[in-house]
Each structure stands twice: as structure tokens, then as C-alpha cells.
Amino acid sequence: MAPKSSTPASTNVVQTLWKAYSDHTSDRLKFIDAFLFFLMLSGIAQFLYCILVTDYPFNAFLAGFASTVGQFVLTASLRSQVNPENKNEFKEISPERAFGDFALGSIVLHFFVYNFLG
Amino acid sequence: MFFFPIVALLFASAQAAILTLHTPKVVVTSATGSQLRSESISLTQPLSTPVTLGKTDTLKLTFQIVEKDGGKGVQPHQTFLRFYDETSGEEGVQPVRVTNGGKAKFELNMARPPLSLPPTSDAPLKVTLMIGSPLHSPLKLELFDLVVPASQTPPVHPEEPNFHPLPEIHHTFRPDQKMPPRPISAIFSAVVVAPWAVLLALWSQVIPRVPYPFSPSILPFILTLGAFEALLVWYWVGLKLGQALSYGAVLGLVTIFAGKQALSKIGDNRINRK
């Protein structure tokens, strides 16, 4: 196989992947994916701050980081349950039920995060 | 009948012979042998000036114990010299050897002091002679005041510190943690808020189709979800836990009903669309 450095072949692979993604993913799923990407960025930013500068209000760091991680998990599970292509995996869970679970889980997560934020 | 032995004892003691001293004399000699002081002690009062002993001096006390009437020498059962310190209250009692004829000699050598000598303080030691005998009435004579060289301080008991207040404990605490300097805080605040801008940019490109968000069956659900978030922010800002939980319970009931209604409506729409 050709080496995986920045050869035109590998950039082509990335471009093809991106094209396939944007063509075949519905808008709703892209909406959720944008949210997931945002959560990942936010978590990375907070973690970088904790490592590089200080973890002085440690409870605040834990609350913020846990909120991003927890929300990411909830949103990822919502996405997988709402995706019509996974309908066979989740026969008993309708998309509405998935959203209800997501809403409840998010509220509980937010409650604990606000508790810990201080 | 009960009092008879006591009365007899008192009677006997009233008739007991009285003891006295014959030629009591105190002599202080130095280490070289020269006599520093030599006095006979009066029986009615102690010596006017205290007897001072240096580190190498020797004190010698001689007397004879005789009966007052008759002058017969007596060897009493108990003959003690009491050294008493009035200021500190310490006392030491030294038995004195008395011969059969009543002659007694007591030597005090400061090079080897007897154990009964109490530790010194500012006041001189009062030396008293105490004689006790069942056949005679007791005798207590104040002889003289004695000044001895200062004694070494007594050794401190190993558990002495436990009987005094222990030294005060000074706690040291870890210094307070400091906030980072303001520019760094500002930069990283911008870094953490930046993902929101990214999210808004991405969302603006993929606005999904949301069917009938303002219809009366779906809107209450959205509003109650927003109300929950507002309650949580209010809890963070000022509310107490009990209040927040009770409000949340009430709001939760409302949300459940609104949610059931909204989600079933959406489900029907989805099925109908299919």
C-alpha cells in the first residue's frame, strides 16, 4: 500500500469520505452531528485549559468537562436511535421515545452539573 | 468503765519523768581542722545567729540526754533531728544514735550530706531535736538555724511536661490557590466560548425541517423544556436545593403530560407521512 503521508491519494480519500457524508446524511442527522462536534471542541478546550493553566476551581473543571462528555454520550445515543437506517436495531424504541429519553437525561445531567458548578 | 484505761494512761504520763539535755554543744570545723564556731546551746531558746556551713565544713552536735530529776542518762526510743524549711515546707528527719548512757553525737559533713537534708531555698533550715520515749514525756527543742550550701536542682521527672499545659500548636495551612493572570484567563475564556460560534456557523448551514413547532400540541412541550432549563439556572443562581427539587417535581408533572401529547402528535405525523 502507498504510504499514508499527505499524498494526493490520501487527500482524495478524505474528500470522498466527506462528499459521501454530506450527500447521504439527512439534515437532521447533520444538525445533531454539528452539536456533537461542538461538544467535542468544548470539552477539548476545557481540558487544555486544565492541563496548561490551572485546575484551580477543580469542581468547576469537573462540572464543565462532565457536562460536555455526558451531553455527548446522550446526543450520540439519540442520533443512533433516531437514524432511520438503524430501525431494525431499535424496534421497541420509537424516535419520539428516544427524544423523550434524551430530554430527561439532559435535564438530569444539567441538574447535577449545576449542582457541582458552585 | 470504758474510760478507765485512758485515765490511767493520762495519769501515768502526768507522772512521767521529764527529760532534758546536758551540755548540748555545736561545733563547726573547716576541712583543715580549724574551729570556725563553737557554742553551747541554750535549752530555752535557739541560737541567736544561724550556723553557716561551707562546702567543706563539718558540723558536730553533741549532747547527753538525762532525766531532769536525778540526772541519770537515758537512752530514749526515738531521737530525731528535724531539718525544716519554712518557706518551701520541705523537711527531713535524721535519726540520731544515742548510747546507753544517753550520750549522742551527730556529725554533718557537707562533703557527703545525709539524704534527709531537704533541698535548699532562701530561708535557713530550722533544726529541731525531738525525743520520744514511753517512760518519759516527750521533748522537743529548737536548737538553731542552719544555712547549708545551695543544693543542685532536683532532676526533672521524665513525665513532668505532661502536668503542665503543652506548647501551643501552630497550624500551618497550604497557601490559598491563586487565579491565573487576567490576560491568560481572558484568552482561554475566548477559546472555550469559540466552539459556540462554530456550532452556530454549522447550524446555520444545516437548518433541519422542523414540522409545526408552534402548533398548540407541540409548543407546550418545548416551553416546559425551556422552563426546566430556566429553573436549573435559577437554582444555580439563588434557589435552595429543596425549593428547586419541589419546583422541579411540579414542572416535571406538567412536562410529562405536555411531552406525551407532543411526541405522540409527532409520531402520528411521522407515520402518516410514511
Query: Of B135, B129, B120, B68, which Cα lies nearest the Cα of B93?
Result: B129
Q: Which chain B residues are Cβ-neighbours of A28 within 8 angstroms?
A: 208-209
pLDDT digits 0-9 by tens, A15-28:
999 999 888 888 88
Test A100 with B263 for CB contact under 8 angstroms: yes
Looking at per-residue confidence, does B78 or A2 come out higher?
A: B78
The separation between CA B77 and the C-alpha centre of its own chain, rounded to angstroms, equals: 46
Whether the CB of A110 is below 8 Å from some CB of chain B: the reply is: yes
Average pLDDT over residues B255-266: 85
Whether the CB of B31 is below 8 Å from some CB of chain A: the reply is: no
Q: Which of A31-40, A63-72, A92-101 has the lowest mean pLDDT?
A: A92-101
Nearest to A34 among B203, B235, B263 (CB): B203
Whether the CB of A49 is below 8 Å from some CB of chain B: the reply is: yes
Q: What is the pLDDT of residue A112?
A: 92
Q: What is the pLDDT of residue B11?
A: 63
Nearest residue in B to A26, CA atom: B208
B180 burial (CB, 10 Å; 0-12 / 13-18 / 19+) is middle
Terminal-to-terminal C-alpha distance of chain A: 54
Test B177 with A28 for CB contact under 8 angstroms: no
In the three-class reduction of DSSP (H, G, I as helix; E, B as strand; rest coil), residue B212 is classed as: coil
Q: Answer whether residue B210 shows pLDDT above 50.
A: yes
Nearest residue in B to A109, CA atom: B232
Nearest residue in A to B233, CA atom: A114
Test A53 with B184 for CB contact under 8 angstroms: yes
pLDDT digits 0-9 by tens, B52-87:
888 888 888 888 888 888 878 888 899 998 988 888
The top-scoring range by mean pLDDT among B156-170, B195-209, B247-261 is B247-261
Q: Answer whether residue A70 shows pLDDT above 90.
A: yes
Q: Answer whether residue B273 shows pLDDT above 80.
A: no
Please give the mean pLDDT across all residues of chain B.
Answer: 83
**3-state SS, one letter per residue, for B101-132:** CCEEEEEEECCCCCCCCCCCCCCCEEEEEEEE
For the full predicted model, state whether its pTM sits above 0.90. Answer: no
Instruction: Cell numbers for A116, please give them.
Output: 457541582
Q: What is the pLDDT of residue A77?
A: 93
Distances from the Cα of A112 to the Cαs of A47, B109, B232, B233, in angstroms? 19, 88, 10, 12
Q: Which of B100-109, B115-124, B140-149 has the lowest mean pLDDT?
A: B115-124
Pairing state between β B125-132 and B139-147: antiparallel
Interface test with A, best of B176, B182, B196, B199 (most A CBs within 10 A): B199
